[in-house]
Structure 1
Amino acid sequence: MSQQPDYDTMAMNWIGDWAGRRAALTPHRPAILDADSDTRLSYADVNARANRVGAWLLDEGGLGKGDAICIVTRNRVEALDLYMACGKIGTILAPLSYRLRPRELNDLLERIQPRAFVYEDVFDSLVEALELPDSVATRVRIADGDDNGFQPLLVHPEREVNTPLAQADPFLYIHTGGTTATPKVCIVPHRQMLWNALDMIVTGGTLMEQRQLITFPLFHVGGWNSLTPVFHAGGYSVLTRQFDPGQVLDVIEGEGITNFGGVEAMLRFIAEHPRFPEADLSSVTGITSAGAPCSSEVMDPFYARGIPVVQAYGLTEAGPSNFMYGGIDQELETIRAHNRSIGTSMIHCDFRIVDQESGEPVSTGEVGVLHMRSLHNFGGYLGQPDRTRKALLDDGWVDSGDLAVQDEEGNVRIMGRADNMFISGGENVSPEEIETVLQEHPAVAQVCVVAMPDQRWGQVPVAAVVPTETAGGDIEADLRTHCREHLAAFKVPSRFAVVDSIPVTGAGKIDRNSLGKQLDS
């Protein structure tokens, strides 16, 4: 009697070969536009470029299955070339955020130990400040001019480089914020991106005719999560180097964009742009807000134009997409009435809401911690087994760390974080990380960082500082300079409040709630 095969670990030809399989089905369909360079690619073009880049990585870069490539680029077609090539040859793509400072990036590089490092010329000064680990054997510098170091990859002799891979094989290393000073690196297997794409296609309806604008940066899983389902379905995606509300309106009009996503701050910037009232948005059939709850105020200008805005929810560890308010068969006003909800879970995803202390399911209408379980769970944190055990629970559940409540209609709403982390402009921010940096400054005796409401970014960090006896001069200016040197801009506190003491609870722990009320008064 033959042994039952394990399809999660079985190597199959199609896994990772998104470009090759789609090109075989629809070679001449338009697939990608890099709007800044006006590079237009069919599915056959995408596959040919992926084969050339993959062949170069094997032949000249000395990379193989399981090796990692770190990239620091904006949203441009070369990043997509590497994504598709990595899928073919089994290397692991590890995008790094250009918003981070050298201190933060060096920590990630040391843990990832990449075999190759690819970066864009606009980040030359940032890259020069990095301490690349000895593992880096190949460096490639992308540029738009004649000195484009990526060009040899695109003219390398083409051959089919696809190798059989398993669903469990790692595809991406995605870094994400955490509740300590050390960022987490999520291992994203092929299984996760595959099943998430299927869930997005099934939940959102056919995507083959969708013309999508990708607004999320490709150093976040949200960027790849926007691209992959539409690519799987044979749709059309447009890349812009970075978010610019005026360019968004231009691309919508010029390319007949039907869908795009964005965090609350992005949607606000678009609606506030001077051209928004006159822009032709007739092609847009829907907008998805993600990253953090979006306010009704920000959605209203789009509703007024007859465009439904729905909230989605997910996290790198369990999604990237897990919930979406569907509403595709509902009237605009019905969708609008539910605009604070993330709806229910996607078809291939279980969820439960449990009591934070007991772990038992709560009743409808009660707030608890949201857990999720699906075939698109992540593969753990790179080199951090203790953190992995805290996130991956028994029976396949992932602890989101988010508080949620389910109403009588079955719709779920996110209520906040169960820990101290918060979201500012779509970016995860850890108060403890900022506190660690501030405590290194000689003027700081004690510090606590809390999230405060902000009209533009949703929430922003504010630091309460007890100065040392020897502190002098302009403390706020000194601390701001110190933070800008060591932290990404979105983590730098918007305000530094000098206080005599930090409030504590009866157990002697920092009382962040009391401090937040004190700073808000």
Structure 2
Amino acid sequence: MSSVLETSYFPADVSDPIEEQTVGGLLRECAADSPNLIAIREVVPTQSHSLSGAAETDRTWTFAELLDEAEGCAHYLLSRFDCGDRITVWAPNVPEWMILQYGAALAGMVLVTANPALGAEELAYVLSQSQSRGLFHTGKFRGGDMAAVASEAISISGEEVLAVNFEEWDRQVRGWAGERGALPEVSPDDNAQIQYTSGTTGVPKGALLHHRGLVNNADFVSRRGRFPERGSVVSAMPLFHTAGCGILVLGAAQRRMSIGLIQYFDPTAVLDAAERFHADVISGVPTMLIAMINDASFASRDFSACSVVVSGGSSVPPELVSTVESAFGAGFSIVYGQTEASPVITQTSPADTHEDKSETVGLALPQVEVKISDVVTGDSVPLGEQGEICARGYLVMTEYFRNPEASADTVDKDGWLHTGDLGTMDERGYVRVTGRLKDMIIRGGENIYPREVESVIFTHPKILDVAVVGVPDEVWGERVVAVIRWKDESDQPTAAELVEFCTERLARHKAPKEWFSAEAFPLTGSGKIQKYRIASLVGEGVYGVVN
């Protein structure tokens, strides 16, 4: 779209049609036209082992083999559950996770995804709220007894749930010898998944996502990101999040690419896989990319095959764009969205200017309307003015499952998804994210947006990462606090030096007056920083004070 906008509203580009397809139908297409292409390459870090009972840890599946297993899984599921039922998967990145994803889709069931880091109470909430009838899980992970936790969670939930350990997959699912009748007809309008929101502000809500949204979003993202046909993608993005099972799994299928599926994030394992499989596409949230580049072996690696690095999930510091493109010798594509949007709303292209990749989150994907909305009136604000980022189109979730009040608060009567993010739009339609409505700090009646303050602090040469939050103050209402991760723990500036650095670049009332240090930030499963937890930890005195 080349015309200049007059207000902060970007109409949908409808030149690329929406595909009337399902998740299972997409896999059938892959198996029909590319049966012998590798679909999955299993990657298990050297210090780990198979979590699904397999004797080998470097298994591969072609698209034809993946479809055969997925159809077998679908028949097994239908022998235990009914079409339309919800089943939960609670596991790290094992190939059987993907087989279950496709199998549930072919069986007309709704896959409920759960972070393997959840404890018994948290998992029980997911099982109960989603009314799941099945729970698929690994036996152990990172030293934890997941089978025991699963049993406890089922007991707490009060639901009748059939638990299936992935270590028993060969016997229970692959070895199932029942009759294979016709699988049910599944529509693009049918629901495919419940993804529980990351919880940056509190209790998770189950976003009910349909086949059309997931399949088309992955297609448009892979095209905007210039994923090469029949190439290779390597990622440790968790499958329980839409970035993993949506953008990467389905995006790879759309381009007939193989996935180097890494069991969990380990920078050396990702680098090994990217080099060994000649990865065309590497994906990770900013913290993952930073860890990979800082890996001791990075300089000796050969990434000449890599053409695109994809990131998102958290704010991408401008300097990281330059660092990544230089380090990998590849283009950078930044995605922006949220679970409720299947999940991507806007995206930069690797061909965009450095300025656009550093300072914006790109243009709306095809078939998506985006506006910057006045938070009071709902009208589009003038170009360049700040408001709430809203999106409308095929990508919007069906609802929050069993939560009509939250659904109505998030998707209005006109179909607009209210993201809760603040941003601006320029005359071309490029969007900048400036903060979160709920993260906004009000100090003495002045609105302060943490994203603006963080963008300044990020430029300090000794700072690796930063989170700016508001904490209660008896005089000002709230005060501005910064929590820092250092590049070098032995080389830290003083608080006075940091205040001076900020006041030279920001209005004095926006500059943090208190500074703390942390080894790591609490993150959601998608890599977003949990600001409410950081504010709480500051109040509890957990972080070290920078003097």
TM surpasses 0.5: yes
Q: Determine if contact 1:99/1:489 at 8 Å carries over to the other structure.
A: no
Q: Matches of residues 238-387 of structure 1 in structure 2 within 5 Å? A: 238-305=260-327, 306-328=329-351, 334-335=353-354, 338-387=357-406
Q: Distance in 2 between the 1:19 and 1:167 partners? A: 14
Q: Distance in 1 between the 2:25 and 2:176 partners? A: 19
Q: Determine if contact 1:311/1:340 at 8 Å carries over to the other structure.
A: no
Partner of 1:58: 78
Q: Distance in 2 between the 1:206 and 1:317 partners? A: 24
Q: Determine if contact 2:127/2:159 at 8 Å carries over to the other structure.
A: no
> Are residue 28 (structure 1) and residue 66 (structure 2) matched?
no
CA apart distance, 1:74: 0.4
CA apart distance, 1:134: 4.5
**What amino acid maps onto 1:400 in structure 2?**
T
Q: 1:154 aligns with which of 174, 199, 205?
A: 174
Q: Deviations over 1:382-411 (max 9, x none)?
A: 111011011111322100110011234432
Q: Distance in 1 between the 2:336 and 2:36 partners? A: 34
> Are residue 81 (structure 1) and residue 99 (structure 2) matched?
yes
CA apart distance, 1:181: 3.9
Q: 2:186 aligns with which of 145, 165, 173?
A: 165
Q: Distance in 2 between the 1:218 and 1:456 partners? A: 30
Partner of 2:209: 188
Q: Distance in 2 between the 1:241 and 1:206 partners? A: 22
Unpaired segments ≥5 residues, structure 1 = 1-11, 436-447, 458-482, 500-518
Partner of 1:127: 150
Q: 1:18 aligns with which of 22, 26, 35?
A: 26
> Are residue 114 (structure 1) and residue 114 (structure 2) matched?
no
Q: Distance in 1 between the 2:485 and 2:216 partners? A: 36
Moved more, 338-347 or 122-131: 122-131
**What amino acid maps onto 1:20 in structure 2?**
R
Q: Distance in 2 between the 1:45 and 1:179 partners? A: 39
Report the CA distance shift for 1:454/1:106 in structure 2 as closer, same or farther (over 3 A). farther
Q: Deviations over 1:145-188 (max 9, x none)?
A: xxx34532112248465321122211101001347642100001
> Are residue 70 (structure 1) and residue 88 (structure 2) matched?
yes
RMSD: 3.3
Q: Distance in 1 between the 2:261 and 2:540 partners? A: 44
Provide the secondary structure at the position in 1 that maps to 2:237: coil
Provide the secondary structure at the position in 1 that maps to 2:359: coil
Identity of aligned residues (%): 23
Q: Distance in 1 between the 2:217 and 2:479 partners? A: 35
**What amino acid maps onto 1:19 in structure 2?**
L
Unpaired segments ≥5 residues, structure 2 = 1-19, 45-56, 141-145, 441-449, 455-466, 473-477, 488-521
- In the superposition, the TM-score normalised over structure 1's length comes to 0.76
Q: 2:195 aligns with which of 156, 174, 177?
A: 174
Report the CA distance shift for 1:456/1:35 in structure 2 as closer, same or farther (over 3 A). farther
Work out which structure has the larger RCO, using CA pairs closer than 8 Å and 6 or more positions apart in sequence: 2
Partner of 2:446: none
**What amino acid maps onto 2:431 in structure 1?**
V
CA apart distance, 1:450: 8.9
Q: Determine if contact 2:22/2:188 at 8 Å carries over to the other structure.
A: no
Report the CA distance shift for 1:453/1:498 in structure 2 as closer, same or farther (over 3 A). closer
Q: Distance in 2 between the 1:23 and 1:264 partners? A: 34
Q: Distance in 1 between the 2:160 and 2:26 partners? A: 27
**What amino acid maps onto 1:365 in structure 2?**
G
Q: Deviations over 1:80-106 (max 9, x none)?
A: 111010111111111111223322222
Q: Distance in 1 between the 2:332 and 2:67 partners? A: 34
Partner of 1:140: 164
CA apart distance, 1:319: 3.2
Moved more, 123-132 or 345-354: 123-132
Report the CA distance shift for 1:206/1:264 in structure 2 as closer, same or farther (over 3 A). closer
Q: Determine if contact 1:14/1:21 at 8 Å carries over to the other structure.
A: no
Moved more, 29-38 or 194-203: 194-203
CA apart distance, 1:233: 2.7
Q: Matches of residues 426-441 of structure 1 in structure 2 within 5 Å? A: none
Q: Determine if contact 1:261/1:290 at 8 Å carries over to the other structure.
A: no
Provide the secondary structure at the position in 2 that maps to 1:360: coil
Report the CA distance shift for 1:254/1:44 in structure 2 as closer, same or farther (over 3 A). same
> Are residue 418 (structure 1) and residue 437 (structure 2) matched?
yes
CA apart distance, 1:199: 2.0
Q: Determine if contact 2:275/2:302 at 8 Å carries over to the other structure.
A: yes
- Number of equivalent positions: 435
> Are residue 394 (structure 1) and residue 402 (structure 2) matched?
no
**What amino acid maps onto 2:312 in structure 1?**
A
Q: Distance in 1 between the 2:62 and 2:195 partners? A: 27
Provide the secondary structure at the position in 2 that maps to 1:322: strand
CA apart distance, 1:316: 1.3
- In the superposition, the TM-score normalised over structure 2's length comes to 0.72
Report the CA distance shift for 1:161/1:224 in structure 2 as closer, same or farther (over 3 A). farther
Provide the secondary structure at the position in 2 that maps to 1:130: helix
> Are residue 93 (structure 1) and residue 79 (structure 2) matched?
no
Report the CA distance shift for 1:76/1:270 in structure 2 as closer, same or farther (over 3 A). same
Report the CA distance shift for 1:58/1:402 in structure 2 as closer, same or farther (over 3 A). same
Report the CA distance shift for 1:83/1:370 in structure 2 as closer, same or farther (over 3 A). same
